Chains A and B, each alone.
Chain A
Amino acid sequence: MKLSISKRLAAMFAVASFVMLAVLSVAMHGLLKRELERHQSNELQARWTMYKPIIMRNDDVVHWQYVRTKFDNSISENNRVSLWVQSNDPRFLYGASLTDEQRHTMGAHGFGQVMLPGHDAPLKTYSAEVEAHGERPAVLLTVGIDSKPFVETLRAFTVGLIALTVVGALGAAGLGYYIARVGMRPLDRLSGEARGLSPGHLSRRLQTDTLAPELSELADSFNGALSRLETAYQQLEAFNADVAHELRTPLGNLIGQTQVTLSRERSPTELKEALHSNLEDLERLRAIVNDMLFLARADRGERAPNRVEVSIAQEVSHAVEYLEFIFEEAGVKVRIEGDAQASIETSLFRRAVTNLLQNAVQHAPRGAEIVVFVLQQPGAIRVSVQNTGSGIAREHLSRLFDRFYRVDSSRSGSRENHGLGLAIVRAVATMHGGTVFAESESGATTIGFTVAA
């Protein structure tokens, strides 16, 4: 079961205030009890001191009768009080006879208590000796007072405290719930705003300036996620548009050419020519689709599956060897610098290097030298291809690895360049746990990638 935060807070408030009130009540109860007991003791001692002279003044059997009368009166005047006089001389006694048990709880000296029949609370007692005088031996005078009023006061107070604790806790729960609801209001507003977000309003964000600091942090991170989503979404849309655009040219050619060819009688040679031309466009479509499928593999987070430990420089030289004729045609030289061992999938790696070299030779002037640097770095191996040439303007550098991105969009029609070369380099790097980079300074362009060591 899930409780709402408000209810949970209310429950917590209730528990907290219950505990606090309970502790307070127990303390108050203890305090009151002590005070009442002190009060009782004081009263007992005061009364004892009050009765003692009566015994002191009457020291023979004749006057003892007077003591009895005095005590009887005193008791009947105040029925809370009981009196006992105990002594070894049976002539000097007073009070109801006591059982051994009662005598024991009363004690021989000081404070005690005694349970009398017909009372529901014990009597508090104070006993002390009155020294012998004349005919009278030393006697033990005990004053008892009924503790019932004290007990009742204490009980009423206890009931009051318990009621207060419970009511207080409930009150705190209710109040807590209300406070929590008020406190949660910004959150409700926030979730209302969040409900209003939709793909149709990608640039909409949660308002953070009026929010409490705790919430604005949350809303900020949420907004961050929204921004990233927006970028991804826009890239996806742009990408779909790009794909459609790239496919549109060859498709348009195909349809147009086929229609033209079929619009009148053609010789077998002409028909053949049209089919050949169609085939070229179709091959181009196939190449694009295959590349897209390859990129999708990397996008899905697939890692290079068939890795082997090899010399990177050697793999680079394989790629160089493959492009040998192209370099000769373009009149450029290639040099490889550095080496490192790494675990890579060779066909993927060669493909990436081939793409980089292919770009370099396309942009390098005749007679230039292309240098491939292989650099061992902590945790990664860096492969970069450097060529001289007109360079790339700064604003293009970050987008170079995007699909179908070309600095010079007029090149887009050419057969070899469908603008996926560097996107594939990035995919290969990603599949090897690496990244890509591009720099262009004072006429030297360096583009490359890393693979995890």
Chain B
Amino acid sequence: MKVLIVEDEPKTADYLERGLREQGYVVDVARDGLDGKHMALEYEYDVIVLDVMLPGTDGFSVLHALREHRQTPVIMLTARDRVDDRVRGLREGADDYLVKPFSFLELVARLQALTRRSRGQEAMQLRIADLQIDLLARKAWRNGQRLDLTAKEFALLAALARRKGEILSKTTIAELVWDVNFDSDTNVVEVAVKRLRSKLDDPFKPTLLHTVRGMGYVLEVRDEQSEDA
């Protein structure tokens, strides 16, 4: 998976590069609009992360030039929470946008959503250790034992299981499970995770649903020693 990051702020560009590289992406960085335009047109990328405010040429004109030749998916980073910027970005062919300050997890989630589209059909049966999920029948078992989950609890489990090993932020979970696309002060996700845990993990070993403090939740098999949930 190859990503181009067009970002002039050095600290932002650096952590994005490192973070995405560690997520398994091949990362190129352009530090101004002209470089960005050149690289976006010259090389093949699976997705481009494009800052709006750039020295040289701004993000919109990079996007404009790119769209005349290529349909590479683009995520715009807008510094101001201005509707015009978002509307303009989407109208000129951006596929998604994030408003700074954004969370890194959020960016990863969006990147995956953009690139997943082209990955084809998902499996309808998921399996993690002794956990077994039937997405179609909306049923789950552990150790052969049927888990008695409510609709939302199942939706939460399915969302985590689809991205097993990926940390999902509370915002992403709220969006996937409740279709809520705004920040809210609630701890709904925490409560939901607590409930799911009581049915999924409390009666069974090993623990599958882990909290990553400050970041979110992840469903995976871990060495029992490095537990920090």
Q: Which residues of A are in contact with B by a Cβ distance under 8 Å?
A: 272, 275-280, 282-283, 286-287, 289-291, 293-294, 296-297, 302, 305, 318, 321-326, 329, 347-348, 350-351, 354-355, 358, 416-418, 420-421
Q: Closest chain B residue to A292 by CB distance?
A: B81
B184-228 near A? 1/0 per residue, CB < 8 Å = 111110011001000000000000000011110000000000001
Instruction: State the CA gap A279–B101 with chains docked (Å).
Output: 13
Contact A290 B214 (CB under 8 A): no
Contacts of B228 in A (CB 8 A): 272
Cβ B81 vs Cβ A278 within 8 A: no
A276 touches B213 (CB 8 A): yes
With both chains docked as a complex, state the minimum distance between the C-beta of A317 and any C-beta of chain B, in angstroms.
Answer: 12
In the assembled complex, how far is the CB of residue B31 from the closest CB belonging to chain A, in whole angstroms? Answer: 24
Give the shortest distance, in Å, between A293 (CB) and chain B (any CB): 4
Contacts of B187 in A (CB 8 A): 326, 416
The B interface, classified by DSSP as helix, strand, loop or mixed, is: loop
Given contacts A279-B215, A325-B191, contact A358 B185 (CB under 8 A): yes
In the bound assembly, the distance between CA atoms of A347 and B191 in angstroms comes to 22
A322 in contact with B178 (CB, 8 Å): yes
C-beta contact mask, B82-110 vs A, less than 8 Å → 1, else 0?
A: 11000100000000000101010000000
The reply to whether A416 and B99 form a contact with Cβ atoms under 8 Å apart is no
For the complex, what is the distance from the CA of A276 to the CA of B152, rounded to whole Å? 28
> Could you name 26 residue pairs across A and B whose Cβ atoms are closer than 8 Å?
A275-B214, A276-B213, A276-B215, A278-B214, A279-B213, A280-B214, A282-B214, A283-B214, A287-B183, A287-B185, A290-B81, A293-B81, A293-B99, A305-B83, A321-B178, A326-B191, A350-B182, A351-B182, A354-B180, A354-B184, A358-B186, A416-B185, A416-B186, A416-B187, A418-B185, A420-B185
CB <8 Å contact, A354 and B152: no
User: Is B121 an interface residue, CB under 8 A from the partner?
Assistant: no
Give the interface centre of B152, B174, B182, B228 by most chain A CB atoms within 10 Å. B182
Are A351 and B184 in contact, with the CB atoms below 8 A? yes
Quick check: is B181 within 8 A (CB to CB) of the other chain? Answer: yes
Contact B188 A297 (CB under 8 A): no
State the Cβ distance, A208 to closest chain B Cβ, in Å. 43
Among B81, B99, B212, point to the contact of A296 (Cβ < 8 A).
B81
- Output the residue of B183, B184, B187 with the most chain A CB within 10 A: B184
**A289 in contact with B188 (CB, 8 Å):** no
Q: What CA separation (Å) do A24 and B104 show in the bound complex?
A: 91
A294 to B80, CA, bound (A): 10
Which residue of B81, B87, B195, B213 is within 8 Å of A277 (Cβ)?
B213
B192 touching A325 by the CB < 8 A rule?
yes
CA distance A277 to B212 in the complex (A): 11
Q: Say what secondary structure dominates the interface of chain A.
A: helix
Q: A278-B214, A291-B183 are in contact. Are A326 and B188 (CB under 8 A)?
A: yes
Bound complex: CA A125 to CA B80 (Å):
101
Q: A325-B192, A417-B185 are in contact. Are A305 and B87 (CB under 8 A)?
A: yes
Residues from chain B with a CB closer than 8 A to the CB of A325 are 152, 188, 191-192, 195
Residues of A within 8 A of B185 (CB): 287, 355, 358, 416-418, 420-421
Q: Which residues of B contact A277 (CB under 8 A)?
A: 213-214
User: Given the known A-B contacts A302-B83, A351-B182, A354-B184, are A276 and B214 also in contact in the complex, defined by CB atoms under 8 Å?
Assistant: yes
Q: Which residue of B lies closest to A354 (CB)?
A: B184
The CA-CA distance from A140 to B5 in the complex, in Å, is 126
> A326–B186 contact, CB under 8 A?
yes
Residue on B nearest A281 in the bound complex, by CB: B214
A323 adjacent to B188 (CB under 8 Å): yes
Known A-B contacts: A322-B186, A416-B186. Give 9 more (CB < 8 A). A279-B215, A280-B213, A283-B103, A322-B180, A324-B152, A326-B188, A351-B182, A354-B180, A354-B186
Contact residues in B for A289 (Cβ distance below 8 Å): 101
The answer to whether A347 touches B182, judged by C-beta atoms less than 8 angstroms apart, is yes
Chain B residue with Cβ nearest A295: B81
Report whether A322 and B188 are in contact in the complex, using a CB–CB cutoff of 8 Å. Answer: yes
On whether the beta carbons of B81 and A297 are closer than 8 Å, the reply is yes
| Closest Cβ–Cβ distance, residue B200 to chain A (whole Å) | 15
Cα separation A291 to B188 with both chains bound (whole Å): 19
Residues in chain B near residue A348, CB distance under 8 A: 182
What mask results when residues 142 to 184 of chain B are scored 1 for a CB within 8 Å of chain A, else 0?
0000000000100000000000000000000010001111111
CA distance A401 to B193 in the complex (A): 32
Complex: A297 Cα to B192 Cα, angstroms: 32
Instruction: Please give me the residue from chain B that is nearest to A322 by CB atom.
Output: B178
Residues of B near A417 (CB, < 8 A) are 185
**A294, B192: Cα distance in complex, Å:** 27
Of all A-B residue pairs in the complex, the 6 with the closest CB atoms, nearest first, are: A279-B214, A276-B213, A293-B81, A325-B191, A351-B182, A280-B214
Closest to B189 in A: A325
Q: How far is the CA of A32 from the CA of B103 in the complex (A)?
A: 100
Residues in B neighbouring A318, C-beta threshold 8 A: 179
Asked if A290 contacts B83 (CB within 8 A), the reply is no
Closest to B192 in A: A325
Chain A contacts of B195 at CB under 8 A?
325
Task: Find out whether the CB atom of A290 lies under 8 angstroms from the CB atom of B178.
Answer: no
In the assembly, what is the distance between CA of A290 and CA of B178, in Å? 21
Tell me the bound Cα distance from A290 to B215 in angstroms: 17
Q: Pick the contact of A358 from B179, B180, B184, B214 — CB < 8 Å?
A: B184
**B213 and A294 contacting across the interface, CB-CB below 8 Å:** no
Which of B87, B178, B182, B185 has the most chain A CB atoms closer than 10 A to its own CB? B185
A374 to B152 alpha-carbon distance, docked (Å) = 26
Residue in B closest to A300 when the chains form the complex, CB atoms: B82
Determine the distance from Cα of A350 to Cα of B180 in the docked complex, in whole angstroms.
Answer: 8
Nearest to B214 among chain A residues (CB) is A279
Decide if A347 touches B181 in the complex (CB within 8 Å): yes
Alpha-carbon distance between A417 and B142 when the two chains are bound, in angstroms? 37
A290→B183 contact, CB < 8 A: yes
Closest to A282 in B: B214
Q: Is the CB of A294 within 8 A of B81?
A: yes
Tell me the complex Cα distance, A279–B105, Å.
Answer: 12
Q: How far is the CA of A126 from the CA of B155 in the complex (A)?
A: 128
- Point out the residues of chain A lying under 8 angstroms from B188, CB to CB: 322-323, 325-326
Q: Which residue on B lies nearest to A284, using beta carbons?
A: B214
